[in-house]
Structure 1
Amino acid sequence: MRVDLILSTLTSTVGAISLLSMSLRFVRYLRKFFIRESYDHGLRYGQHTWALITAPTSTTGSGFAFQLAKRGFNIVLVGRDIERIHRLRDAIVLNHLVKVRTIVADFRKSFHLPFYTDILRQVEDLDVSIVVNTVGCAGLSEKFHLMTAEKIRECLVVNTFGAVLLTQQFLPRLLQRFHHSAIINVSSENANQPIPGMAVSSGAKAFVKQFTMAAAHEYREKIDIMTVQPVGVKKQNLAETESGSKLTTVDADAFASSTLRQLGHTCSTSGHWIHGLQSGFFRTFPDEWKLTFWEKFIMPKYFESVREPRLVTASSLQS
């Protein structure tokens, strides 16, 4: 009888602790995405200062460019496709009447330190208050060993060197500013869960998340540093006037708006409440189940039309 009582008490205690833990996580989720108010970014980081965005024509990059311009920030667009950058520049100026500067830079070459000093040289006359690093690529290959060493190197360089060295190069300037500053490093949900067929980028995105969170703690008094791990993001047509979301994907404008709402409050986020819900749902399952799900049901569609390993942008998997 005593054993039954002990087991019953133990079961009740464990159940109560589990319920309390789930309740606290749910309250934290509500507070992050719905309750907590956003900072006034102009007051916090400086009115009419500059926001620098890498890979601005990518899905997530364009969303941040428009949202920051909407908040009154002038924009620096850093990317390698000059024609697409100029179209984006014209759209931003037309819609938000802010200043826009463009810089041509190919982050596949970002393993050289002069790559970063050249970017800083081109913005040395600007009061850059926010740096948003959205550049990234997914080394897509059914089997890791089928990727060439060159493609693996490119994937590692683009995904990791940009986030680390761009942050390192801008920090001295940002620390000298009167206002707060901010750095956003966009990672991906595969930072939280490895995805078969994307082994290299899964490791690289996890590195970006860990690096950014550690750096955020080091500079928390002066600089708001945050990493973002979105799930599915789709690009909004420039002709569209309203943003929207589905239960599986979020458009770039809504994603960027929700992410900026959390800037200064946290060092890590999924970005949008839909992504937070998806990420939390994924984490309830064992790793083996998740790996099998991605391998059997999600990734095959990305390999159907691919006859050999290739590098694709992260945004192409999110659109």
Structure 2
Amino acid sequence: MGALLFRQQQEAAWFVSLAILGALHVAAVAFRILSHLLLLLRRPTDLCHRYGAWAVVTGPTSGMGRSVALELARRGINLVLVGRDPAKLKDISDNISCTYAVQTKIVVVDLALIATPQGDEALRLLRHAVAGLDVGVLVNNAGLAKPCAVYLHEADVEAWVRMIRVNLWALTEVTAAVLPGMLERGRGAIVNIGSGTTLTIPSFPLFSIYAASKRYVAQLSRSLHVEYRARGIDVQCQKHLSAIRIYSLRS
């Protein structure tokens, strides 16, 4: 009789433990859903008032970069558009000017030339373009994914050197060029476009350099967030494809 009672008590304790764990899980899921719903119901932040009147966007002529540039313009932000193709830059600039009451500037820069004499001149042009502007937002969108699906020893050396220059070096140099003005004004936001490949899978064979370069972007974003959050500058890394992880910038 005593053994049966003890067994019933054990089963009851096990059931209660499972019930508590289940309730905690349901509460956690409900909290996340509620947080997302509250975020959707919030009034969008006035980016111009919070950060500044201008934004710098690299790679704004197509895809995500073009969408970001158009959205910033829709929200009243003037734009410095940085890219390597003058015709495409003029196209997006004219599109924005015809649709929204904002100003645009074009800076023609081949970011794959960073760390070369031509790249040094390009960065000088960028610094000159943003001098005196109230640049509150920087979107480091430009990136290369080629060569694709190839073993490292079979890849064209110049191709992966260009990838490293754009995905790592250029992103860092452009950030360093814009940061001083943000620090002087005590506000700003830096948005670095990363990749879900650095978060969802432990390795990315045949895309090793690309995945490694995007892991650099994620780590740099974390570190910059810690370095500059007390100085009024928000930093985030947007990891597209499969996941997004935000370190600071609020919607």
Name the TM-score, length of structure 1 as normaliser: 0.65
> How do residues 156-305 of structure 1 correspond to structure 2 at under 5 angstroms?
156-177=164-185, 180-194=187-201, 195-221=204-230, 222-231=232-241, 264-265=249-250
Tell whether the 8 Å contact from 1:39 to 1:264 is kept in structure 2 after alignment: no
Q: Percent identity?
A: 27
- For residue 250 of structure 2, what is the amino acid of its counterpart? H
User: Deviations 1:107-134 (Å, cap 9, x if unpaired)?
Assistant: 1122357243431123224332221111
Aligned equivalents of 1:192, 1:9: Cα separation in 2: 35
More RCO (CA 8 Å, sep 6+): 1
How many residue pairs match? The answer is: 234
Which residue is 2:51 aligned to?
45
* Secondary structure, aligned partner of 1:207: helix
> How do residues 29-40 of structure 1 correspond to structure 2 at under 5 angstroms?
29-32=36-39, 34-40=40-46
Tell whether the 8 Å contact from 2:225 to 2:234 is kept in structure 1 after alignment: yes
The 10-residue stretch of structure 1 (84-93 or 199-208) with the greater mean CA deviation from structure 2: 199-208
**Structure 2: stretches of 5+ with no match in the other structure:** 1-6
Aligned equivalents of 1:147, 1:193: Cα separation in 2: 25
Pick closer, same or farther for the CA change 1:97–1:4 going to 2, 3 Å.
closer
Aligned equivalents of 1:86, 1:116: Cα separation in 2: 20
Which residue is 2:19 aligned to?
12
**Structure 1: stretches of 5+ with no match in the other structure:** 233-258, 267-319
Aligned equivalents of 1:36, 1:210: Cα separation in 2: 29
Q: Which has the higher helix share?
A: 2
Which residue is 1:83 aligned to?
87
- For residue 169 of structure 1, what is the amino acid of its counterpart? A
How well do the aligned residues superpose, as a CA RMSD in angstroms?
Answer: 2.7
Alpha-carbon shift at residue 189 of structure 1 (Å): 1.9
User: Deviations 1:10-40 (Å, cap 9, x if unpaired)?
Assistant: 43333333333333333333344x1333211
Pick closer, same or farther for the CA change 1:263–1:17 going to 2, 3 Å.
closer
The 10-residue stretch of structure 1 (50-59 or 148-157) with the greater mean CA deviation from structure 2: 148-157
Alpha-carbon shift at residue 81 of structure 1 (Å): 0.7
Q: Which has the larger radius of gyration?
A: 2
Tell whether the 8 Å contact from 2:112 to 2:170 is kept in structure 1 after alignment: no
